[in-house]
Structure 1
Amino acid sequence: MKEFLMIFRSEINDKFGPAPEQTVHNIQEWMDWMGGIAAQGKMTGGSRLSFEGKTLKPNNVIADGPYAEVKEIIGGTIIVKATDLDEAMKLAEGCPILAHGGNVEVRSIIPVNS
């Protein structure tokens, strides 16, 4: 089995502020989808990312915010195990972000030999 990184992207929405019950529903959708992958023994980890951050650029220039020059944000990632990219893409189907106009980028992970 190989490992694949799923990167969850969506457009920046300054007006985003769902009602508490919608937030609970959204969280449950994510938990159900990731729980289905975990139940297959194919999820190895993941994390949600905050909107706060900085970017280090060449010559030690530090820019506020990781998304200063783009219209999309990365909201989080998970790592899954699959036999190939096609299987990893199948696991990405049903991701809740797709229903809200976002996308899932799936990339194979190249192990670093120590």
Structure 2
Amino acid sequence: MQDFMLLFRSNYPESQMPDGEMAALEKKWEHWINDLAARQRLSHPGHRLLAKGKTRKPGDVVTDGPYTESKECVCGFIIIKAASLEEAFELTKDCPIQEMGGNVEVREVMIRG
């Protein structure tokens, strides 16, 4: 098994969601992640990332926010185990981020040593 990072990208529409809708979506996330854990596919539960931040670019250029040029940014991640990139990608088909207009990027984790 290899480790793959799932990067969740969104434009943070949850800030505009009614509380009941947000609670239902959070339940779906919990169910999806618990299902990965029950299938022994969850390596690290990751974290949700807030929209506020700063970016440092070459030449000591600093900008507010991680997404000054784009409409969406990385809003969270988890690390899963899968036999291949194709299997890891298949595990994302029911990811709740898609219900809020977001997407999932699947990247293999390079282990050194």
1:11, CA displacement in angstroms?
3.1
Aligned residue for 2:22? 23
Please give the alpha-carbon distance, in whole angstroms, between the structure 2 residues aligned to 1:112 and 1:65: 31
Which residue pairs with 1:39 in the alignment? 38
Name the residue aligned to 2:11. Answer: 11
Tell me by how many angstroms 1:56 deviates.
Answer: 0.9
Stretches (4+) displaced over 3 A: none
CA drift at 1:72: 1.2
**Contact 1:12/1:71 (CA < 8 Å) preserved in 2?**
no
Amino acid at match of 2:40: G
Q: What residue number does 1:72 align with?
A: 72
Q: Partner of 2:90 in structure 1?
A: 90
Deviation at 1:12, TM superposition (A): 5.2
- Equivalent residue number for residue 104 of structure 2: 104
Gaps of 5+ in 2: none
How many correspondences in the alignment? 112
Contact 1:7 1:74 in 2 (8 A): yes
What amino acid is the match of 2:32? W
Q: Percent identity?
A: 39
Give the TM-score of the pair, scaled to structure 1. 0.90
